[in-house]
């Protein structure tokens, strides 16, 4: 796991974006945690990173989820909605993933309603393993987890992601 503190110094965002793109293309570490005080530009960096990843053919941009309390959309405050949303986004971008996901969902059509650990295994890991080896790393962006309403679900999500990354 890498960590980078976001600050307000000139050029910080460009340096962080450059570092993030280098990480996405080359780093075997599967999780990058971007931290910083509120208002320092983390979401701006995440939005720009999404744009950069969409145009980069050395990675597979799986999708993004932006958590928010202020949007008044309950799904954006619910950590249990993150993985199903990302999986659907990836399925739209990758016909191979969509086919593997459809096969998985035939055996468990309610996987998106299950605990987060089961969601990762069923909705993400199984379809990805079915296509292994992948030609490029799959990158997902999750922004503002602290905006989720249920801290316990966020902890479960982080644990499930870190566990999944350590075995894949």
| Per-domain boundaries in the chain | 2-167
Q: Which residue has the higher pLDDT, 144 or 6?
A: 144
Q: Tell me the pLDDT tens digit for each residue of 108-146.
A: 999 989 999 999 999 999 998 888 888 888 999 999 998
Question: Which pLDDT belongs to residue 56?
Answer: 94
**Which positions ≥6 away from 162 have C-beta within 8 Å?**
1, 31
- Angstrom distances, CA of residue 3 to CA of 11, 18, 35, 85: 18, 14, 7, 25
Taking residues 65-81, report their average pLDDT. Answer: 87
Residue 167 scores a pLDDT above 80: no
Q: Tell me the pLDDT tens digit for each residue of 11-41.
A: 668 888 999 999 999 987 778 888 888 888 8
Q: Tell me the pLDDT tens digit for each residue of 138-166.
A: 999 999 998 998 999 999 999 888 888 76
């Amino acid at each position: 796991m890498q960590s980078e503190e976001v600050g307000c110094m000139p050029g910080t965002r460009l340096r962080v974006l450059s570092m993030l793109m280098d990480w996405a293309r080359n780093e075997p570490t599967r999780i990058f945690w971007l931290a910083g005080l509120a208002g320092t530009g983390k979401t701006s960096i995440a939005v720009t990173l999404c744009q950069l990843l969409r145009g980069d053919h050395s990675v597979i941009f799986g999708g993004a989820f932006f958590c928010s309390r202020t949007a008044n959309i309950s799904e954006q405050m619910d950590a249990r909605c993150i993985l199903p949303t990302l999986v659907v986004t990836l399925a739209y971008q990758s016909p191979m993933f969509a086919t593997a996901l459809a096969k998985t969902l035939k055996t468990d059509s309610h996987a998106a309603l299950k605990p987060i650990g089961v969601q990762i295994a069923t909705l993400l890991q199984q379809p990805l393993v079915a296509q292994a080896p992948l030609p490029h790393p799959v990158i997902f962006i999750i922004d503002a987890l602290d905006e989720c309403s249920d801290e316990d679900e966020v902890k479960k999500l982080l644990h499930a992601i870190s566990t999944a990354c350590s075995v894949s």
